[in-house]
Amino acid sequence: LQPGPWPAAPPDCRGERQSPVNIVTRNVVYEKSLKPLSFEGYDVRGSAQWNLENNGHTVALDTSPKIGGGGLERKYKAVEFHFHWGVLSEQQIVSPGSEHSIDGEKYPMELHIVHIREDASDMTEAKKTPDGLAVLAFFVKVEENKNYETLLSELKNIKYKGQSAQVDPLPLSSLLPPEEDLERYFRYQGSLTTPDCYQGVIWTIFETPVQLSLLQLSQFAALHFDGKNSTPMLENFRPAQPLNGREVLWSGASIALPRAQLLLLALALTCTLSSLSH
């Protein structure tokens, strides 16, 4: 599905809590309850093969680890993950294609791991509740990542819509940054970024990006939106949607202030001490 004005789009796609959004860092609200998430089964290699499928808008995989904590009121189980990207070549990022952006800056690609409520049997049942889905979002920056080789080597076999390939499963954690780098993230209430644009999605967007080389990124350019002679699958992202008054929360993590703030604090202390000594 190409983004933008979808024909006969469901009403939710014009709702007040749509995704993605541009995150303006000076406006985010620090929320101390946003502790590190717990990742259950993310480090386990599943027994069943993953089904890698070109479903006409993204590449999806079946898997079943769980997440909890991190300000979530319940556990959520992973059901699939997919990517959004712009225009890629082996030489350069022609145009970036992440869905979310930070202070207006986009990354080459974005990875989404979609989870449904632990007590729901499938996506349809989960969507009957106001907090049915939790999506983990990771930006992708340019640097080689050997952990993705098996996965990416299969993309040429699913060029066209409806094609699928079986891939030996990997621990999901092997595709992500180290867990200790996942303490800093943004959180907001939003929607799916493709129809039906369901608005019960709890978004978690991590500061630390996943790494893929230019050559690895360019392998996604082999995919097509439909059958032979159809449009190459490029720019499969939705543009940023209005926040409409929603707050974007920030975990801040339990680490020191950024250097710039420490410097200002030191200067302030110096000024205070010098004024006391006069």
Name the residue type at position 166: Q
What are 10's strand-pairing partners?
none
Instruction: Please give the Cα distance from 134 to 115 (Å, whole number).
Output: 5
Work out how many domains the chain is built from and give that number.
1
The answer to whether residue 141 scores a pLDDT higher than 90 is yes
Domain CATH for 104: 3.10.200.10
Q: Does residue 97 belong to any structural domain of this protein?
A: yes
Instruction: Please give the Cα distance from 23 to 13 (Å, whole number).
Output: 20
Residue 61, pLDDT score: 58
Average pLDDT over residues 231-254: 91
Average pLDDT over residues 222-242: 91
Residue 49, pLDDT score: 82
Catalytic entry in 57, 82, 112, 224: 57
Instruction: Please give the Cα distance from 102 to 185 (Å, whole number).
Output: 12
Helical H runs in 129-258?
149-153, 214-218
Mean pLDDT (the chain) is 87
- Greater model confidence, 234 or 192: 192
The answer to whether residue 39 scores a pLDDT higher than 90 is yes
pLDDT of 263-272, one tens digit each?
Answer: 555 555 554 4
Q: Does residue 271 belong to any structural domain of this protein?
A: yes
The proportion of the chain whose per-residue pLDDT surpasses 90, expressed as a percent, equals: 65
Contacts of 74 (CB under 8 A, 6+ apart): 68, 117, 118, 119, 131
Q: Which of 201, 178, 175, 177 is nearest to 190 (CA)?
A: 201
- Residue 57 is among the residues annotated as catalytic for this protein: yes
Angle subtended at Cα 63 by Cα 128 and Cα 1, rounded to the nearest 5 degrees? 65
Q: Does residue 1 belong to any structural domain of this protein?
A: no
Average pLDDT over residues 48-61: 76
Residue 50, pLDDT score: 85
pLDDT of 80-123, one tens digit each?
Answer: 889 999 998 888 878 999 999 999 999 999 999 999 999 999 99
Instruction: Please give the Cα distance from 214 to 231 (Å, whole number).
Output: 21
Structural domain for 245, as ranges:
11-276
Instruction: Please give the Cα distance from 190 to 185 (Å, whole number).
Output: 15
Q: Does residue 4 belong to any structural domain of this protein?
A: no
Q: Does residue 3 belong to any structural domain of this protein?
A: no
Q: How confident is the model at residue 277 (pLDDT cuts 50, 70, 90)?
A: very low
